[in-house]
Structure 1
Amino acid sequence: MQRHRTEPRPGWQQTVEEQGLIYPLTRHPDGSLRPYWDESAYYSFTLPEVEALEGVVEELHRLCLEAAAHIVAEDRFADLGITDPSVAAAVAGSWRRRAEQPSLYARFDLRYDGTGPAKLLEYNADTPTSLVEAASPQWFWMEERFPGADQWNSLHERLVAAWRSQARLLPPGHPVHFAHSHDDELGEDQMTVVYLMETARQAGLDTRSLAVEDIGWDSLAGRFVDRQCRFLRTVFKLYPWEWLVSDAFGAHALRTADLGGGTGSTLWIEPAWKMLLSNKALLAVLWELNPGHPNLLPAYLDGPRGLARWAAKPLLGREGAGVLLHDGTGPAPVPDPAVRHCWQELAPLPDFDGNRTVLGAWVVEDEPAGLGIRESAGPVTDEYARFLPHVIL
């Protein structure tokens, strides 16, 4: 794994926008616009490195599914902050029926510098983003800059194949609705939803676009509808389950999903059982079940225990929000006692020319599918991170 400087292509911004990346620039707190898609540098890997990383992703995904099964079997929902018995029962029921419920994709965030085993930082299994840039613009960048080279990137083909294989699980005769929120100011979620809708369309599915805010509940018919009162049988949502279950319609979403295709049921993608994997408590359960595993970091739910250096991560959060780091020097920061945390051994992100790098390894239908790389100036990958392409040389 190496970082290389290079000159951006002339007209790169227009190029990546035409390839689906609608926000190639990020507005920083000082008001300046700086590249989010950053092709002033790229990363290279050897084929054996990528094959080894694929093996790590397969192993981690298997361990995560085993941990999810353990949480359900041992009724450990309280460790995830799920204290409502009805929500716990619905998630457990969704897990037991997972063979009937489509699960499309997820992303592992890994700490890796090319010299040792990759370490799991977290699993984004419910609403992962940075998909479009990983699937499309970086592939075309490679074809233009390195003709004949390769890339760890079968995302598009695997997504289309996943929709095609899971079409049998979808309610027949009804379109698949793709929902995002109007509150998405950057357009990141909308961009991801539009791209996934296109992969479903290429798989032959009938698709519709929909805002989460335009989903309503028909109390007389007992079903979810759009603004024209049309029944919503299948909804892909880029809207976290932990938000959905706390909304006014949350109980209806869980109940209709539990009907399993019956009258009034709505099939939600991703399914409710993804709440087992999209929670940072999973990191502590993984370590408890697999202590010493080379691809895991020690993690606990009741405090840092004997960790000299640690990262305190809110159980639910995105873009590094609320993460506290303690490097073993000076007074340790005190996490908000009103927020549940997971304490994970601190594994500082590798530093490449002053840039902190994290690997986002994608899974589609339980199979490794591609890689996206983000860089940040600070120790936590946040909303100001940059996306850089990669190539296998």
Structure 2
Amino acid sequence: MKKISIEERPDWRRTVEAEGFDFHTIDGERYWDERGYYLFSEAQISRDIEAPTKAVHELCMDAVERVVHSEELLTRLAIPPAFFDLVRDSWREGHPHLYGRFDFSYDGSGPAKCIEANYDTPTSLLEAGSVQLLWLESQIAAGVLPASATQFNTIAEDLVQAFSAFPTQGPFHFSAMSGSVEDRGTTDFLRKMAAHAGIDARHIDIEDIGLRDGRFVDLDGQWIQRLFKLHAWEHIFHEAFGKAVPGCDTQFVEPAWKSIISNKGILALLWELHEGHPNLLPAFVDREPQRPVPAGWVRKPYFSREGANIELRTREGEFVAEDGPYTDAPFILQEFAPLPRFGDSYTLLGSWVIGDVASGIGIREDDSLITKDTSRFLPHVVMN
């Protein structure tokens, strides 16, 4: 695993915007950064990333099976009792799921360590599944990279295959909060993949979803049969419309059972069930979140996203923290697994699962040990 400097394409902004990637720059700073790429060997991908991704995914599926049969575990994972049956039934009835992303600390040697499971509303999908792949094709065509260069990246085709399992009759709505360019980029990419599978894929802002006679409806008053919602289940559980979800007849994607894997309590449960697993980190529910973070540990709120409200203390005692709104949720303590440093940047590897298939990776960089929503995204290359 190496970081290689490379000249950026002179027309890269126009090129990525043509793919719907309008958030390549955030607050005047680069989010997409093609001045460098990460180089992996095929063995590193297959042995150290793809295989662990499959393994941890299977552990998560096993954990869901255990949790739905245990009110104690459902409670521990902060699922409200009013939604126990919804979560249970969505799993027992086999409601299909679409995607997820593990975040790994990996430096090119040794086992990748899972530090996050983003299994309900992960973003950076457009960048990983499309933009970096087109960058690779462009660099090969220009002779900058050899024709033998590849990526670990079948995200787009795996999404089309996953959507092929859904009926093509009737519309499939894709929703995101209005005003979020990143979220809309994610749902538009998913709609495009669904359309490739023959689905009538439509957008609706989450705020525009209506409720009529117990059914969720669109702006035309038409029943929403299937809904991809880039909106976390932990929010839905506490919203007014959420009360209508258990009794409605809309198929939700992601399904309600994904709420079990979408909060960081799952990391503590996975360690409890599989202590010593080479791709897991010691993690425990933090019973004293008011105390200082011990050296060599990271404190994370159950429902934190994009690095918010995370506190860490390195083994040497350096303290790093991010502010945010997640101050009243349960917390976990997870053993600190330092992100590898390349130059002045700390690097996080996101490994995607589409359906049940390990499908590709995306690389994020930050000047801090905590990866945030503004952290840079860099492409990768696989060569021997």
TM-score using structure 1 length: 0.90
The reply to whether residue 295 of structure 1 matches residue 279 of structure 2 is yes
Which of 333, 337, 357 is equivalent to 1:343?
A: 333
Q: Give, in angstroms, the shift of residue 302 of structure 1.
A: 3.3
Deviation at 1:66, TM superposition (A): 1.1
Distance 1:326 1:303 in 2: 18
Task: Label 1:36 to 1:197 Cα distance change in 2 as closer, same or farther (>3 A).
Answer: same
Partners of 1:314 and 1:341 within 8 A in 2: yes
Count of paired positions: 369
The Cα shift of 1:385 comes to: 0.2
Identify the residue that residue 6 of structure 1 maps to in structure 2. Answer: 6
What is the SS of the residue equivalent to 1:325?
strand
Segments of 5+ residues of structure 2 without an aligned counterpart are: 140-144
Instruction: Say whether the 8 Å CA contact 1:20–1:137 is kept in structure 2.
Output: no
CA contact (8 A) 2:176 2:231 kept: yes
**8 Å Cα contact 2:99/2:353 also seen in 1:** yes
Q: Report how far residue 167 of structure 1 moved.
A: 1.9
Q: CA deviation at 1:133?
A: 0.6
Q: Are 1:106 and 1:123, in contact at CA under 8 Å, matched by a contact in 2?
A: yes
Q: CA deviation at 1:303?
A: 4.3
Mind listing any 5+ residue stretches in structure 1 that lack a counterpart?
A: 28-32, 257-264
- SS, match of residue 39 in structure 1: coil
Residues 37-52 of structure 1 correspond to what in structure 2 (within 5 A)?
Answer: 37-52=32-47
1:333/1:48 Cα in 2 relative to 1: closer, same or farther (>3 Å)? Answer: closer
> For the Cα contact (< 8 Å) 2:295–2:316, is it kept in 1?
no
Indicate which of 192, 215, 221 corresponds to 1:229: 221
Residue 167 of structure 1 aligns to a residue whose secondary structure is: coil
Structure 2 counterpart of 1:91: 87
Deviations 1:276-334 (A, max 9, x none): 11110000000000111110000000348996411111100210111011224559899
**Alignment correspondent of 1:355:** 345
| Post-superposition CA distance 1:345-378 (Å, at most 9, x none) | 0111110111100001000111100110000010
* Paired-residue identity, %: 41
* Structure 2 counterpart of 1:260: none
8 Å contact 1:193–1:238 — kept in the other structure?
A: yes
* Corresponding position of 2:198: 204
Q: Distance in 2 between matches of 1:247 and 1:126?
A: 17
**SS of the residue 1:356 aligns to:** strand
Structure 1 CA distance for aligned equivalents of residues 38 and 192 of structure 2: 28
Q: Are the aligned partners of 1:284 and 1:301 in contact in 2 as well (CA < 8 Å)?
A: yes
| Cα distance in 2, alignment partners of residues 194 and 373 from structure 1 | 21
Q: Which moved more, 1:126-135 or 1:173-182?
A: 173-182
Select the residue among 242, 247, 252 that pairs with 1:255.
Answer: 247
CA RMSD across the alignment: 2.0
Aligned to 1:73: 69
CA distance in 2, matches of 1:392, 1:72: 39
1:177-200 CA distance string (max 9 Å, x none):
11111142xx00000001100100
Instruction: Please give the alpha-carbon distance, in whole angstroms, between the structure 2 residues aligned to 1:16 and 1:338.
Output: 39
Question: What amino acid is the match of 1:351?
Answer: R
Partner of 2:103: 109
8 Å CA contact 2:101–2:352 kept in 1: the answer is yes
Partner of 2:310: 323
Aligned residues of 2:300 and 2:332 also touching (Cα < 8 A): yes
Partners of 1:95 and 1:160 lie apart in 2 by 23
Report the residue type matching 1:295 in the other structure.
N
Equivalent residues in 2 for 1:26-65 (5 A)?
Answer: 26-27=26-27, 33-52=28-47, 53-65=49-61
Check the 8 A contact 2:6/2:35 in 1, yes or no: yes
Report the alpha carbon displacement of residue 23 of structure 1 after superposing the two structures with TM. Answer: 1.0
Contact 1:245 1:254 in 2 (8 A): no
1:384 aligns with 2:381: no
Q: Closer, same or farther in 2 for the Cα pair 1:252/1:60, shift >3 Å?
A: same
Deviation at 1:95, TM superposition (A): 1.6
1:42 aligned partner, one-letter code: Y
Name the SS for the 2:332 alignment partner: strand
Structural mapping, 1:158-197, within 5 Å: 158-164=158-164, 166-168=165-167, 173-184=169-180, 187-197=181-191
